[in-house]
Amino acid sequence: MNDYARVNVKEFYSGKSVFVTGGTGYLGKALIEKLLYSCRNIDNIYVLLRDKKGERACDRVKQIINSTAFERVRIRNIRYIEKIRPMSGNIGDENLGLSKENLDIIKQEVAVVFHLAATVNFNEPLKDALAINLNGTEEIIKLCKQMTKLEAFIYVSTAFSNSDLRKIEEKVYPNTLNIEYVRSIAECFPNDEYVISKLVGNKPNTYTFTKALAEEVVLRAREDLPIAIVRPSIVISALKEPSPGWIDNWNGATGLFVGMSTGVMKVMIGKGDNVTDLVPLDIVINLIIVAAANCRRSSLQVFNCCTGKSNPITCNQAETIARRATYKHSLNYLPLPFMWFISDTILYNILRFALQLIPSYLMDFWLLINGKRATLLKIQSRIRRTVELMQFFLLNEWDIEDSNVRNLLNTLSEEDMDTFHFDVKSINWDECLENYVLGTRKHLVKNPRRPDKGHLHINETMN
């Protein structure tokens, strides 16, 4: 049964102003770019930005505008970018740290709120994760309740907020812990890893734990606000927009794809036959935009933006495609690029030592005696942290329901289907993952050179 009405998405945004948190992040930049490019009659896009390292919010917005994500907007008409209005504040502060003047503007003008801001550091101390992921959401909701024109509030969560379950439906699951109790524990035992681990329970990290708590806060506000929750899984590079393979961060699976394609990473803790729930960036962004146009008061809608149900791909299949792309474009720095997924920890450590550490020692020694900078062992240290962060998601598998997404897709007109496409069944994984590998090389790994030319450079922000 389809409960969603047909809405002309471009007309919905015509003449409306929106408010975006997390605008400097990966999803945030892509969302702002897509709104500017496809919703030409949108009014203003207010972006919450904190002053950082001496840079004011108005200066930081220039970084967004100058991003490679905005190339097609700049080509089409530079004046579209003038619609981006920075607002100095901080997601974790009372009233988001906004001035009275800016608060009044938001309350009186904004029709749609996109709350994307979050700490995506999986190992963030619980107290800090709560301040951003939970407290920030509470402040946003408090502000939304004072907006006179509000028509939609979109909270971007994660498909793994309920990763302690094996079947995840499109609904908010009740938490067994009282939020104030969680806050008191985080305050009293901020550095006690044992206590925090017991509190987090079967969830893999503080990120997924606090996102689940925030969903409960959003659920409580459903009677007062038109709300929807969008839960993407592992977000990879863009399928098509703003350009095929576009990416600007190392989160999620990106470190694995770069490590394999360069040849410096040969083994990973995981199960090769497991479905790995990857979803392209623009699929997520288009769903977020369309979901806002279909928000209804008193009826919280949840959309699991995932591929595992409708267009699954296993870890081994993804590795095969990435490896073929590596050979096709001669991308590897070290010989024989491949990745084995090993579920046994002892066997993993043996193979890691033989296939990664020993070659890294030898290559670093060769570089040093030739007067070059040794980098391989540092890279291996960063790879180790990537393994620690990702192994939970590669050792486990989930049945994630996406019927709400499918139903919403069926309401799109032919024009909106073309402009705001989010049908994961249409993803050609061979093309998508080849562009992912090429995109990471173009946008993340800067000026790569092979070690036989004297130096191996892989962006050291890889984690």
Q: pLDDT tens digit string along 158-176?
A: 999 999 999 999 999 988 8
pLDDT for residue 66: 83
Domains present along the chain, CATH in parentheses: 9-250+277-311+399-427 (3.40.50.720)
Q: What is the DSSP letter of 172?
A: P
**Which stretches does DSSP call E strand in 187-335?**
227-232, 234-236, 267-269, 278-280, 301-305
pLDDT for residue 34: 96
Q: What is the DSSP letter of 289?
A: H
pLDDT for residue 459: 43
Helix and strand counts by DSSP (H, E) for the chain: 19, 13
Quote the CA–CA distance of 105 and 111 in Å, as a whole number.
11
Q: How many residues does the chain have?
A: 463
Nearest to 30 by CA among 285, 291, 239, 244: 285
Say if CB 274 and CB 129 are below 8 A apart: no
Q: What is the DSSP letter of 314?
A: B
Query: What phi-psi label fits residue 55: left (phi over 0), alpha (psi between -120 and 50 degrees) or beta?
Result: beta
Secondary structure class of 368 (helix, strand, coil): helix
Contacts of 94 (CB under 8 A, 6+ apart): 139
Which tens digit of pLDDT belongs to each residue from 420-459? 999 999 999 999 999 999 999 999 886 444 444 434 444 4
- Give residue 462's identity as a one-letter amino acid code: M
Stated as kind and residue range, the H or E segment containing 161 is none
The 3-state secondary structure of 6-73, one letter per residue: CCCHHHHHCCCEEEEECCCCHHHHHHHHHHHHHCCCCCCEEEEECCECCECHHHHHHHHHCCHHHHHH
Say if CB 292 and CB 228 are below 8 A apart: yes
pLDDT for residue 61: 79
Residue stretches of the chain with pLDDT short of 70: 1-5, 53-54, 78, 298, 446-463
pLDDT for residue 455: 41
